[in-house]
Structure 1
Amino acid sequence: MTNSDAPDQPVPQADMAAALMERLAGQLGSRASVSAVFGEPVTSDGITVIPVAEFGFGFAGGTGPEAGSANIGEGGGGAGARPRGYIEIKDGTATYKPFRAPWANVAVPLAALMAGAVVPLLVRRLVKRRTR
């Protein structure tokens, strides 16, 4: 690869990496569509439900240790989607209903219970230290 301004000069690694990242982003971005985040609507009994997901992708790449090296390194990438909720359309009104994480139903009350048990003990210890 050479620079168009100076044909005898090798292209800096930063330029090669930027070109690689742009090409990968363009290819991955063209495959990501609205249907990856919003699923196909389902209608039944006058209610329309549209699934909603969180979609993300990432990638990485590298270059060889020498400028202008034929070995441009290796890279990888991945994509994933997680369901987040759904949009319910009923009687002309749209409502977003998020999915709640199952652990939140247990973790929040458990944390409140532990705080209620531990805080009074800490207060007593602090009071005892100040009176000494």
Structure 2
Amino acid sequence: MTTSDTPNEPVPTADTAAAPVPVTRLERLAGKLGSRASATAVYGEPVTSGGVTVIPVAEISYGFAGGAGREAGAAGTGEGGGGGGFSARPRGFIEIKDGTTTYKSLRAPWVDVVVPLAALLAGAAVPRLVRRLAARRSR
């Protein structure tokens, strides 16, 4: 029997036999979570209303760490531990309307305040700096 004849059994990687048990468990867990991490899982299915389809777009990240050890000269595998985290942030949405697809980014609300304020301050400060530099050169 080959591995293709047994679809319910996971196919081991080449180095699975040499890898410690906590490592293979962590790899399996990361694989399962990674396959389920999607914008659909976080924000739901695309929505269609009035001929317009909206598809959510998200930035998804996850990470895991783990370890195992034993005292020097001790037999056995010792103890181990691990942990992980998952994060999802909305980035925008894709709008499909009348055969046209457009991506619309979601910005942080503070950008609407900071960018105009920075432009206003730069517009007021730059002419003063230019006048001061011109006055120093003429001395």
* Alpha carbons 1:38, 1:50 under 8 Å: kept: no
Matched with 1:60 is 65
Matched with 2:49 is 44
Residue of 91, 96, 102 corresponding to 1:89: 96
Q: Which amino acid aligns with 2:82?
A: G
Identity %: 67
Instruction: Name the SS of the counterpart of 1:23 in structure 2.
Output: helix
Query: What are the within-5 Å matches in structure 2 for residues 69-84 of structure 1?
Result: 69-72=77-80, 74-84=81-91
Matched with 1:5 is none
Measured in 2, the distance between the counterparts of 1:18 and 1:120 equals 62
Scaled by the length of structure 2, the TM-score of the pair is 0.63
Scaled by the length of structure 1, the TM-score of the pair is 0.66
Structure 2 segments unaligned to the other structure (5+ residues): 1-17
Measured in 2, the distance between the counterparts of 1:85 and 1:76 equals 30
**Paired positions, count:** 118
Measured in 1, the distance between the counterparts of 2:101 and 2:107 equals 19
Judged with a 3 Å threshold, the aligned counterparts in structure 2 of structure 1 residues 131 and 20 are, in CA distance, closer, same or farther, namely farther
